[in-house]
Chains A and B, each alone.
Chain A
């Protein structure tokens, strides 16, 4: 158990819908990362937050947004869903968000868009 929790574990929805994925980092970790894992793209970085502030953005679509709350949990919002958004979404956390910090991954949320 990494100490990072993600809910829900599975999500099935239809095209055009909006969903919210939730992540609680390990106790004491200030930085949260979101990654997308799909068969064709592999593991791709989406976005990083540090202590409530956005720190880095990767290949995140404009239809996707995220935030980190004062209690440090984070939510990833996916809207106007398309079939291609079906993937495994991971949240990871680290102490400071520095290059040398190891990241601890949650179990993931599997999103299926029908």
Chain B
């Protein structure tokens, strides 16, 4: 069975600082991994996804994530945080049928 663990339910960074949101997964098959962002009172928007191929995945809004099989991780990073990045971020793995299994979410706060 697949599962996802996001370390840290809340992360706070200063504007311009590095953003690092951690995600570890468990999967009995080669994983397909996703990062979604949820702004207040909105639905989820896909930031990036890993299916196969290049392990460093670039997404929208300057975010990227690196798939590390040996560490079963898929951490999300952004070199320089903007105020507009404040939101909740969800890591997810898809199972055989395509349904998404989400982590608990990490709320990102950006201080001016």
Contacts and interface: CB of A to CB of B under 8 A. Distances in A.
Most buried by A among B43, B52, B102: B43
Contacts of A92: 44, 100
Q: What range describes how many residues of B lie at the interface?
A: 20 to 34
B44 A105 contact: yes
B95 interface: yes
B99 A102 contact: no
A44 B99 CA distance: 10
Contacts of B44: 90, 92, 105
A52 interface: no
Nearest to B43: A105
Contact of A97 (B36, B42, B97, B101): B97
A35 B43 CA distance: 11
Interface string A23-45: 00000000101010000001111
Interface in A33-78: 33, 35, 42-45, 48, 55-56, 58
A104 B44 CA distance: 8
Interface string B78-104: 000000000000100011111111111
Interface of B: 32, 34, 36, 42-46, 49, 51-52, 90, 94-105
